[in-house]
Structure 1
Amino acid sequence: MASALRRAGLVIVALLCTATLVTGPARADNPIIQTIYTADPAPLVHNGRVYLYTGHDEDGSTYFTMKEWRVWSSADMVNWTDHGSPMSVSTFAWASADAWAGQTVERNGKFYWYVPVKDRASGQMAIGVGVSTSPTGPFTDAIGRPLVRNGEIDPTVFIDDNGQAYLYWGNPNLWYVRLNADMISYSGSPTQIPLTTAGFGTRTGNASRPTLYEEGPWVFKRNGLYYNVFAARCCSEFIAYSTAPGPTGPWTYRGTVMPTQGGSFTNHAGIVDFNGGSYFFYHNGALPGGGGFTRSVAVEKFTYNADGTIPTITMTTAGAPQVGTLNPYVRQEAETIAWESGVETERAGEGGMNVGWIENGDYIKVKGVAFGSGATSFTARVASASSGGRIELRLDGANGQVVGTCTVPGTGGWQTWTTVTCPVSGATGTHDLYFRYAGGSGYLFNVNWWQFNGG
């Protein structure tokens, strides 16, 4: 459960948003996760969805206090489903702390999650590998020991067109190894990439670190050109990049991707192409209570320049545009959220996740819901250890048109589930859908999933 400080901050967000929602739909969708603080985004496209792997900054942290990693996914770049935490420091019996920035890749039906953690035996930072047959986990320790260990962090993995995979990592240096086809072993020894000013830009005022390279490499290939996007110059960091004709260089510095901005003194990039568009993920400190140790992941859509260079990208509150619409006539998880105020998520006793800690006035926004010719009823899976409350179905704002109200009874427990249905009228066309929760004091009820009928 979030700290009182964080909940107070989100109430402020709710009040600010409500002031604008009275007259029209909200435009702000960044940061894309509001239920917890997230950092170090690593996107992966798989089977028509973008899976987003992040770290989790603990509430009120005054250091990089991170105990677990989280997974989210989206088919439209705006409505993100929370899949919880399928891997944590405790996944690695040999690790003691620091669930820091990693990346997941898929190969031969398995998903490999490369992460830096502190090795208990040596006290050094090391790179571990989690493995799963599902992009949402659960992940297990693939080898029972560090894959590599030299005290440095921030792994990124790239599989070239010829099948050769590379693991890169490093702060203050930059290293790589050639991974074997099993993705959990490597050939040769770790090789240090020369950090030259021609390759990684010039840093002034720091004789021990003459280049801009700081940490957080993200390596990928596009149209035969290799890109290394990285966090540059601490502190505060900006995002820069270099390119090369091959996966190991020689690298040429190309300039700034995202200038220093936002409320966090670190940044971390992840770039993917999805459904014909290119997307840049990063983190900032934009949520209430946010800062350098309480960060939040955001995303922007961008277009490469004709010569393959990356344009300068600026943080926005609008975020990426929606790809398509959301179908309300199939079961949707309650933890699929474009924006929220006040709620949190947790593991559901029925499996998956549910939305909980709902109080009077809290809401969830789901963007771009295609009702078509019109919904006739609404069904939700709910549970309540209190006397329950109401789900108000509103269009285009937390104070928007009410098209239905579902009463949630007390069920005798927060994981004692029942299904409720209520009539719907006036939900036609495409709208942003708001679930506004109402009732007495204290926590009202939990929601596992929902679905409209008709249309």
Structure 2
Amino acid sequence: MRVALRLPATARAGRAIAGVLVLLGLVAFLPAHAARADNPIIQTIYTADPAPLVHNGRVYLYTGHDEDGSTWFTMKEWRVWSSTDMVNWTDHGSPLSLTTFSWAKSDAWAGQAIRRNGKFYWYVPTTNRATGRMAIGVAVSDSPTGPFKDALGRPLVENGEIDPTVFIDDDGQAYLYWGNPNLWYVKLNADMISYSGSATQIPLTTAGFGTRTGDANRPTLFEEGPWVYKRNGLYYIVFAAKCCSEFIAYSTATSPTGPWTYRGTIMPTQGSSFTNHVGIVDYQGGSYFFYHNGALTGGGGFTRSVAVEKFTYGSGGTIPTINMTTSGAPQVGTLNPYVRQEAETIAWASGVETETSSEGGMNVGWIENGDYVKVKGVAFGAGARTFTARVAAASSGGRLELRLDGVNGAAAGTCTVPGTGGWQTWTTVSCSVTGATGTRDLYLKFTGGSGYLFNVDWWQFS
């Protein structure tokens, strides 16, 4: 992650300037030892406020994006990632930003997406330019990865409060909840972009949301970031508690509108971010708890990163205490190297970033000597013989080394990447492979001269 400097994807002419800044030591890098960890799950940018969605056998993860060097919640866009194995995450870029909403001024904060009737609805809070208050907008897309468009041309609801979560009950009734310092809900209509009745305030009682001490204006623990779902007939509302620093707590009910019963702490106060935000899903027989912290280099309360843990519900549907780890969730299955894999499918990365590719999707770029990408649990089977990658380089290029089980692990092959005349002028390179058998962690290690070397769009073994 280039913590001190980020150039827009269109500013390739600025690479030379960036190189000077690198030499001046103004760009921070992740240490090599970080490769031992798989949490946080995104390392190419700072991410916050995770909202997972399971669809067609994949987990889609919707996040906010903390700008590098932020000293406030400086957020201009939302991002999407996806995975089939909970460890290798594909970057789908930013299909939704402040500019999507003509009425939005600032603050691309915590939202959630949901699918209904073949469309995807993404509810997000942002500041209304006309009123200066926080409002909830809704964007819609035919695809979980966008692009999304403003469904209304105006806020869906507006009362100055934030952090929407959306839930569809078994009877088809959809609910939108949000709030800080209060907690509200509306009953969404089947079109998901309008609602019946008016906003209803949920009573924040100590029986329902725990007791806060030392703040007469906030008698309960509820702070912000509600996440509502139903499991085995029980309704859950998981939320960021107290402030500051926040911890994650939860309450349950037998109705989507309460009354709620406080059940206790899930994730105690920990990590280097004074906020936290949760998203919970079941996937492939496991339960997963997404959150954020400030664990990456340069991270903190305004430069956060999303992480995930696997957990098991207790008797009666209780949620256990979950602590932050650097190991993260275990891999579900393996990754198939014999089909095209996007280069931006990453378990861990050092140095690189991603950008929009001229051939569709995203590509890995900003590659310098010694940078690498880790792909976890690659099932080579009896053995790979050839490696092919789609690459581009406005410079003289470099080398793409294939390493097994470590950035300096056994060398399985090396592809030479030539200059192609442009950072989006693509060509395909191939090289022979030896020793890639069984299930291994694959490291794409990038080597060469000084400055930026080349971009990688996709790769495949045969």
Q: Give the TM bin, normalised by the shorter chain.
A: over 0.9
Q: Secondary structure at the match of 2:400?
A: strand
2:392 aligned with 1:392: no
User: Which residue number in structure 2 is paired with residue 378 of structure 1?
Assistant: 387
- For residue 375 of structure 1, give the secondary structure of its aligned residue in structure 2: coil
- Indicate yes or no: 2:191 matched with 1:174: no
* Residues 1:13 and 2:22 are matched in the alignment: no
Secondary structure in 2 aligned to 1:199? helix
Contact 2:30-2:351 at 8 Å conserved across structures: no
Letter of the 1:440 counterpart: G
Structure 1 residue 307, shift from structure 2 partner:
1.6
CA drift at 1:416? 0.2
Q: Which residue, out of 206, 209, 218, partners 2:227?
A: 218
- The correspondence for 2:374, drawn from 365, 376, 380, is 365
Q: How does 1:153-192 map to 2 (within 5 A)?
A: 153-192=162-201
Task: Give yes or no for the alignment of 1:123 onto 2:132.
Answer: yes
Gaps of 5+ in 1: 18-25
For the 8 Å contact 1:5–1:289, the answer to whether it is kept is: no
CA–CA distance in structure 2, aligned partners of residues 140 and 234 of structure 1 = 34
Alpha-carbon separation, structure 2, partners of 1:111 and 1:27:
36
Q: Aligned residue for 2:445? A: 436
Q: Distance in 1 between matches of 2:384 and 2:45?
A: 32
2:429 alignment partner in structure 1: 420
Q: Does 1:354 align with 2:363?
A: yes
Preserved contact between residue 127 and residue 134 of structure 2 (Cα < 8 Å)? yes
Q: Is the 8 A contact 1:10 1:342 kept in 2?
A: no
Q: CA deviation at 1:3?
A: 4.1
Q: Distance in 2 between matches of 1:9 and 1:328?
A: 37
Which of 284, 292, 300 is residue 275 of structure 1 equivalent to? 284
CA contact (8 A) 2:2 2:27 kept: no
Distance 1:414 1:56 in 2: 24
Q: Deviations over 1:55-93 (max 9, x none)?
A: 000000000000000000000000000000000011000
Deviation per CA, 1:30-61, whole angstroms, max 9, x where unpaired? Answer: 00000000000000000000000000000000
- 1:13 match: secondary structure: coil
Secondary structure, counterpart of 1:67 in structure 2: strand
Does residue 4 of structure 1 match 2:13?
no
Report the Cα offset of residue 9 of structure 1: 10
Tell me the alpha carbon deviations over residues 222-266 of structure 1, each in whole angstroms, 9 at most, x when there is no partner: 010000000000000000000001000000000001000000000
C-alpha distance in 1 between matches for 2:248 and 2:26 = 28
**SS of the residue aligned with 2:192?**
coil
Q: Is the Cα contact below 8 Å between 1:278 and 1:303 reproduced in 2?
A: yes
Show the counterpart of 2:19.
Answer: none
Cα deviation, residue 306, structure 1: 1.6
Counterparts of 1:137-286 in structure 2, within 5 Å, are 137-286=146-295
1:28, distance to aligned residue in structure 2 (A): 1.1
State the SS of the aligned residue for 2:214: coil
Aligned to 1:35: 44
- In structure 2, the residue matched to 1:44 is 53
Which stretches in structure 2 are left out of the alignment for 5+ residues?
Answer: 7-21
Deviation for aligned residue 1:13: 3.2
Structure 2: which amino acid aligns with 1:68? Answer: E
Letter in 1 for 2:336: N
Residues 438, 303 of structure 1: alpha-carbon distance in 2 compared, 3 angstrom cutoff:
same
Give the C-alpha shift of residue 299 in structure 1: 0.1
Structure-2 residue corresponding to 1:23: none
Residues 350 and 5 (structure 1 numbering): CA distance in 2 closer, same or farther, change over 3 Å?
A: closer
Structure 1 residues 326 and 177: CA distance shift in structure 2, 3 A: same
TM value normalised by structure 2:
0.95
Letter in 2 for 1:117: T
Alpha-carbon separation, structure 1, partners of 2:27 and 2:249:
32
What is the alpha-carbon distance in structure 2 between the residues aligned to residue 210 and residue 409 of structure 1? 64
Is residue 350–residue 372 contact of structure 2 (8 Å, CA) maintained in 1? yes
Shift of 1:11: 6.2
Structure 2 residue matching 1:90: 3-state secondary structure: helix
Contact residue 399 and residue 414 of structure 2 kept, 8 A = yes
1:86 aligned residue: 95
Q: Give yes or no for contact 1:393–1:404 (8 Å, CA) kept in 2.
A: yes
CA deviation after TM superposition for structure 1 residue 12, in Å:
5.4
Q: Given the superposition, is the C-alpha separation of residues 99 and 388 from structure 1 closer, same or farther in structure 2, using an over 3 Å criterion?
A: same
8 Å CA contact retained: 1:10, 1:288: no
One-letter code of the match for 2:31? Answer: A
**SS of the counterpart of 1:354?**
strand
Q: Distance in 2 between matches of 1:443 and 1:231?
A: 41
TM-score by length of 1: 0.96
Matched residue, 1:22: none
The residue that corresponds to 1:101 in the other structure is 110
Aligned 8 A contact 1:11 1:341 in 2: no
AA matched with 2:167? F
CA distance in 2, matches of 1:109, 1:259: 38
C-alpha distance in structure 2 between counterparts of 1:145 and 1:5, whole Å: 34
| Identity among equivalent pairs (%) | 82
Deviations 1:108-127 (A, max 9, x none): 11000000000011111000
